[in-house]
């Protein structure tokens, strides 16, 4: 088996530690020193996050979608594939290097999504993107830091705690969807969503696109109206 080659390293802004981009043959990995965060072989559940949300918007035109976390681009790519030509998608990515990695190394994995004219990039914290507008989004898709029980940024609690969920509720249009990806189930997060008046469905999706292996958790939370 070929060895891993480190392509780049990037400091996580406002936090200790680094993200590391590695490649082995045609396989890519983004990790910290101790934990793999994503791998190009395992992206079925990220694509399911986008597909499940966009399917629920298929009857609408001119939808506005906010995606928190670019990663390897699979969520954004699937959202584009499942959205109409008049959709507007904004992807918020906190780590500048992740954006440059997608343009330089990773774009081909998900159909070069940053080149799609429907896409705008918000380089910054998705928390601020959510708070910046009221009743603006038909969907907010969060694929950030392995879900509510994050690994790399303590500040992600601002997304998944009650204040963050209230902000997401306010940012969504009536009938809008908050879709959240997680590495594992979290009953406490489900209770917080319901406490914030979301109508909530919890589903699972295989990490592997072949439908085998580990399953990840997806919340589909709808703002009534």
- pLDDT, position 151: 44
- pLDDT, position 155: 58
Domains and CATH numbers, the chain: 42-222 (3.40.50.150)
How does DSSP assign the chain, residue by residue?
-PPPEEEEEEEPTTSSSEEEEEEETTEEEEE-SS-EEEETTB-HHHHHHHHHHHHTTTT-SS-EEEEE--TTSHHHHHHHHTS-TT-EEEEEES-HHHHHHIIIIIGGGGT-GGGSTTEEEEES-HHHHHHT-SS-EEEEEE--TTSSS-SS-GGGHHHHSHHHHHHHHHHEEEEEEEEEEESS--HHHHHHHHHTT-EEEEEEEESSTTS-S-EEEEEEEE---
- pLDDT, position 150: 57
Q: What is the pLDDT along the chain (225 residues), one digit of tens a residue?
A: 789 999 999 998 877 789 999 999 999 999 999 999 999 999 999 999 999 999 999 889 999 999 999 999 999 999 999 999 999 999 999 999 999 999 999 999 999 999 999 999 999 999 999 999 999 999 999 988 778 875 455 556 789 999 999 999 999 999 999 999 999 999 999 999 999 999 999 999 999 877 777 899 999 999 998
pTM for this one? 0.94
- β-strand partners of 135: none
């Amino acid at each position: 088996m070929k060895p891993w080659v480190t392509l780049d390293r990037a400091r996580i802004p406002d936090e200790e530690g680094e993200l590391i981009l590695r490649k082995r043959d045609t396989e890519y990995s983004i990790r910290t020193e101790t934990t793999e965060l994503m791998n190009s072989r395992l992206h079925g559940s990220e694509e399911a996050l986008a597909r499940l949300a966009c399917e629920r918007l298929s009857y609408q035109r001119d939808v506005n979608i906010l995606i928190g976390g670019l990663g390897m681009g699979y969520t954004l790519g699937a959202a584009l594939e499942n959205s109409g030509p008049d959709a507007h998608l904004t992807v918020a990515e906190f780590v500048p290097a992740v954006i440059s990695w997608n343009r330089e190394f990773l774009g081909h994995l998900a159909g070069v999504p940053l080149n799609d004219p429907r896409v705008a990039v918000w380089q910054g914290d998705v928390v601020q993107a959510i708070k910046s507008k009221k009743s603006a989004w038909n969907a907010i898709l969060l694929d950030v830091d392995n879900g509510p029980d994050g690994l790399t940024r303590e500040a992600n609690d601002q997304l998944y705690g009650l204040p963050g969920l209230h902000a997401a509720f306010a940012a969504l249009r009536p009938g809008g969807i908050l879709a959240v990806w997680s590495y594992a189930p979290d009953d406490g997060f489900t209770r917080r969503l319901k406490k914030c008046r979301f109508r909530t469905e919890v589903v699972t999706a295989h990490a592997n696109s072949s439908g085998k292996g580990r399953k990840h958790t997806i919340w589909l939370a709808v703002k009534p109206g």
